[in-house]
Amino acid sequence: MTKKRILLVTQYFQPENFKCNDIAFEMQRRGYDVTVQTAIPNYPQGKFFDGYGLFKRRTEVVNGVKVIRGFVIPRGKGGKIGLSLNYLSYLVSSCLIALYLSLRYRYDAVFVHQVSPVTIGVAATLVKRIQRIPMYFWVLDLWPESLTAAIGLRNKYILGFFSKMVQWFYRRSDKILISSKGFEKSICAKGDFADKIIYFPNWIDSALTTTADVATPDVPSSFVAMFTGNIGASQDFDTILDAAEQLKKHSDIHIVIVGNGRDRERVESEISRRELGATVHCVGSYPLEAMPATFAKADVLFAALKDEPIFALTVPAKIQAYMSTGKPIVTMINGEAKELIESVGCGIAVDAGNAEGFAKAILALQQMNKEERAEMGAKGQAFAAQHFNFELQMNLLEDILNDRDVK
């Protein structure tokens, strides 16, 4: 039997590092004919990747996957104007490409990788309507709630507009895949979509379990609490630095920040202003292949999100990555992520915005012996291996694409 032809619609694709890369390449490996409609890569640097541009590599084949890239204005430093132009430019070009692909080729299903912006759904819905094929909407970022949480937007008319848009996408989706169970409440509040929802969480990246000979950051030889990933407003670094001030007198405890993002310059400035340079270190970003060796240099790993309702509904992908390392975890997040850490017993979870509790948690872990910390980490590692397994998730996706009964 001929395998299905899948159109994967996403604004971000390799060389940008997103989970949709895994889906495209694995489905192609399993015999599906996969085409990716995406943008010229520019995340997170804010400029086009080397070798890509308006007249460079707009179409290519990567690991057997056909990739078609629409024009996009680079996001720059990620300010409101830059992001707005980035999102709007790709909305226009993605719709034009979707129209072309719908009239030129034939697909059996369209799969939407929905991180921000949610407007990626317009192009996907266009393909669905023209070709009358199923659409599967993988929700990794709730809209319009993300607009309030990430940039503080509270204009009721703009939020209302995006709320209607999201409802429109959900109504036209054959299945709505959710990366966090907490998303179900928000989605069902927008309409009668319960029967469409399937839990489809992130998985552990294979690169996190593979040793590679690549450069890693230099870190202090004493106790290290490490953060990895995006340095943005949502990650609540002001409260993290509040906790660092409380830990400042413990000169043998070091907070190491690995990553990049639009808030990095401000965070580094705050570290300097608060005179925290001796115990808080921003070491820059490193490729995914460097993460196993980087994680190995940490004693504990930590994550934080601001005290916003939307963040209580999600488990950040970094939590799943952290679990795979066998290191204990400290979180300063409300809701589902907090409950996960507590139920698994793989670390210490405190409420969002609780600098004092966060500092005490790091201190408590520092004062434990290595065996106690190793036992915590092992619990998380075992849970991740069972529940965030890539092979199992891809089997589930095949069931979804082939309309088998799943829930």
Residues 202-249: tens digit of each pLDDT: 998 877 777 777 889 999 999 999 999 989 888 999 999 999 999 999
Q: Which long-range contacts (CB under 8 A, 24 or more apart) does 370-373 make?
A: 373/299, 373/300, 373/327, 373/328
Pairing of the two strands 59-62 and 65-70? antiparallel
Question: How open is the CA angle 157-158-159, to the nearest 5 degrees?
Answer: 90
Residue segments in the chain with a per-residue pLDDT below the cut of 70: 1, 150-151, 153, 407
List phi, psi (to 5°) of 39.
Answer: -115, 165
Residues 125 and 109 reside in one and the same domain: yes
Give me the pLDDT at residue 262, please: 83
Task: Give the separation between CA 171 and CA 152, rounded to whole angstroms.
Answer: 27
Give me the pLDDT at residue 1, please: 52
Q: Per the domain annotation, does 340 fall within a domain?
A: yes
Report how many domains make up the chain. 2
CA distances from 123 to 41, 169, 193, 325, 326 (A): 18, 11, 21, 38, 41
Structural domain of 186:
5-203+389-401
Name 300's Cβ contacts closer than 8 Å, sequence gap at least 6. Answer: 224, 225, 226, 327, 328, 329, 330, 347, 362, 365, 366, 373
Residue 114, Cβ density class (10 Å: 0-12 exposed, 13-18 middle, ≥19 buried)? buried
Residues 262 and 284 reside in one and the same domain: yes
Q: Per the domain annotation, does 335 fall within a domain?
A: yes
Give me the pLDDT at residue 289, please: 87
CA end-to-end span of the chain: 25
Give me the pLDDT at residue 316, please: 87
- Residue 160, domain CATH: 3.40.50.2000
Q: Per the domain annotation, does 35 fall within a domain?
A: yes
pLDDT in tens, 285-339: 998 889 999 999 999 999 999 998 888 888 888 999 999 999 999 999 999 999 9
Q: Per the domain annotation, does 406 fall within a domain?
A: no
Q: Per the domain annotation, does 123 fall within a domain?
A: yes
Residue 178 in contact with residue 342, Cβ under 8 Å? no
